[in-house]
Every structure is written in C-alpha cells, then in structure tokens.
C-alpha cells in the first residue's frame, strides 16, 4: 500500500483529481461528461507530442523544433489540399507524417553525424521550419472553406461519444508503451540515457538511436500537423507557435528526467493531462486572466516539487532497508 501511495504516477493522478474536484466546486459545468470529453479532445495532441518528446528526452536530448515541424507539415498539406481537394484524407495524413519524419531525420543527422549539439540544432530548425512556412505560404492563411469536406470530416468522427483525436492518442499511447517497455529498441533507449558510456561499451550504436529518436519525434509532429489544421480548420503561419514549451513542460511534470533514462509512459500521459486540464480549466473559472498564467505556472511547479520530493523519500527508504 505504502508503495502505491509513494508512486510518482499515483501522486500525479491524485493532483489531477484534486484540481478537477476544486474546479468542479467553482464551476459544476466543468465536470459534466461532455466537458470532460472536450478536455480530453483538447489534450490529445499534447499527449501525442509529449509521448514522442519523451523518446528524445530519454536519451538526454530535447527536440525544440516539434511545434515548427507540426506547423510546416500542416501548412504544406493544407496548401496541397487547396489545389487537390479530390485526394483522400488518408493521403494527406500519410504525407504529413512523411514530411514530419524527413524534418526529424534532418535534426537527427545534424546531431548524430555533424555533431552539432541538440539544443543548437533544434533551436535552429525551430526557426528554419517556422521560416519556411512563411516562404511556402507567402504569409497567407488557408481558411476553413478552402479545405475539402473529407479533409475536415475525419476529425469529427466519434466512437463511444469520445472523439477521434482521443482514440488516436490512446493508440499512440499503447504503441509507445509497447515500444519502450517491451522491445529491445526501448530498453536500449533507456540504457543510452541512463549511462551512455556503458551503453556504448555493450555495443549500442548511439548515432543510430539518436537519428531514430528524432525521426519518431518528427513522425508524430507531422501526424499532429494534420490533426492541428483539421481540428481548427485553419492553417496560418502562427499555428502552434510556442507549443514546444507546453510539450516539454508536460514531460517534465510527468516525471521524465531531462538527465535522461528515467520516466514512464504513463507518467508522461498524466503530465500532459495535468497541463491540458489547467489550460482548459482556468478560462472556465472566474479568475482574472492576468492571474491565470502565474497560477498555471505555480501549479506546474508545485506538481514537480511534490513529485521529486516523493522520489527522494523513496530512495532514502531503500537505503534504510539495505
């Protein structure tokens, strides 16, 4: 029992419940099933990106270019859909993923082969990919009436009264859970992040894993590129601007250590849910908007503090037991 209570993921889950109850008291309308399903839909893209960011953070790196990658992939397929509205929606999704993957591989090559530090590389591509959006779109937007109906319809499909976006996030969760916990690839990622030198001695090819981690991150950014433009049915140069920081904070809150090698898939999802909940709940309660940013920062900080404190306590208990 004590073990469960001190579990990071369990604590995070409790924090989410407490916030949900508190917001429910302030505004009962926020905790209706419809409203909860809205929050889950709204958080799905964040969950997918946080999970793919986790893969990169596990090997002691970070991908700051995800939001720009998402926006560029999304803009490119949107532009294509204005010229070729007859193409089936699956074509656009696949293309968006391919574009995203290519952009991710470029990051990986720069880091692994050209040995440019990951911060420099992804900070650079953050601007480059964003800049390319202005270049390809000529600064123009793609409006909702310019997309084909097919393009926008998929996102509104519902199953068991939960949205397509939510089920997709569940699918990504399962895939990444299996990938990280039950494959050699996953175990090697953890060992590379936990102890890179040891991992190299036992023959893990670091460069290969860096490129693979970044291409996965790119793949999911590309997927979210489609999801984002279809969901809001607008593609502009501004889409998802600054979203990379939201994604990274979701990972950090979820207990993914930026020192690499530590963190669970479930924790990552809970981190994203907590951030998504805060983003949705604050506009729904009567707090001055000028305070909201500070409050959301404070909750995030609090969650991290509680989380790390329990982790320390756990380590101490182990030592006493020994």
Name the residue among 57, 51, 100 with its Cα closest to residue 229. 100
The reply on whether position 43 binds other proteins by CB under 8 A is: no
State residue 193 phi and psi, 5-degree precision.
Answer: -75, -35
- Residue 159, classed as helix, strand or coil, is strand
Applying CB under 8 A, which of residues 86, 197, 286, 315 lies at the interface with other proteins? 286
Looking at 9-17, 135-143, 174-182, 306-314, which segment touches other proteins (CB under 8 A)?
135-143
Tell me the HSE value of 36 on the side-chain side, using a 13 A CA sphere. Answer: 12
Long-range contacts of range 159-164, CB-CB < 8 Å, 24 or more positions apart? 161/33, 161/37, 162/37, 162/40, 162/41, 163/37, 163/40, 163/41, 163/44
Strand partners of residue 235 = 142
CB of 95 to other proteins, least distance (A): 22
The reply on whether position 42 binds other proteins by CB under 8 A is: yes
The reply on whether position 33 binds other proteins by CB under 8 A is: no
d(CA 38, CA 32): 10
CB of 86 to other proteins, least distance (A): 19
Looking at 13-21, 136-144, 186-194, 216-224, which segment touches other proteins (CB under 8 A)?
136-144
The reply on whether position 238 binds other proteins by CB under 8 A is: yes
Question: Two tokens at 6?
Answer: 């001190």
The reply on whether position 294 binds other proteins by CB under 8 A is: no
CB of 83 to other proteins, least distance (A): 17
The reply on whether position 25 binds other proteins by CB under 8 A is: no
Residues at the interface with other proteins (CB under 8 A): 27, 29-30, 35, 38, 42, 130, 133-134, 137, 139-141, 143-145, 232-234, 236-243, 279-280, 282-286, 289-290
């Amino acid at each position: 029992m004590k073990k469960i209570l001190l579990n990071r993921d369990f604590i995070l889950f409790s924090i989410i419940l407490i916030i949900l109850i508190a917001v429910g008291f302030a505004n009962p309308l926020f905790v209706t099933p419809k409203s909860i399903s809205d929050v889950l839909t709204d958080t799905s893209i964040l969950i997918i990106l946080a999970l793919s960011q986790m893969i990169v953070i596990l090997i002691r790196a970070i991908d700051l270019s995800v939001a720009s990658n998402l926006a560029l992939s999304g803009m490119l397929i949107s532009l294509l859909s204005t010229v070729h509205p007859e193409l089936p929606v699956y074509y656009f999704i696949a293309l968006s993923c391919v574009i995203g993957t290519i952009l991710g591989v470029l990051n990986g090559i720069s880091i692994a082969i050209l040995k440019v530090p990951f911060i420099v590389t992804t900070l650079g591509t953050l601007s480059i990919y964003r800049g390319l959006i202005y270049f390809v779109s000529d600064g123009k937007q793609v409006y909702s009436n310019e997309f084909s109906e097919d393009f926008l319809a998929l996102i509104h499909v519902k199953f068991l009264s939960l949205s397509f976006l939510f089920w997709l996030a569940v699918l990504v969760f399962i895939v990444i859970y299996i990938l990280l916990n039950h494959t050699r690839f996953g175990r090697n990622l953890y060992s590379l992040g936990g102890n890179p030198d040891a991992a190299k001695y036992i023959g893990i090819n670091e460069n290969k894993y860096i490129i693979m981690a970044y291409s996965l991150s790119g793949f999911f950014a590309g997927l979210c590129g489609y999801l984002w433009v279809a969901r809001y049915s607008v593609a502009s140069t501004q889409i998802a601007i600054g979203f990379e920081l939201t994604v990274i904070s979701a990972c950090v809150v979820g207990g993914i250590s930026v020192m690499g090698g530590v963190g669970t898939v479930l924790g990552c999802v809970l981190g994203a849910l907590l951030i998504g909940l805060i983003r949705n709940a604050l506009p729904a309660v009567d707090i001055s908007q000028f305070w909201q940013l500070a409050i959301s920062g404070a909750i995030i900080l609090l969650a991290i503090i509680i989380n790390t404190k329990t982790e320390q306590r756990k380590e101490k208990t182990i030592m006493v037991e020994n």
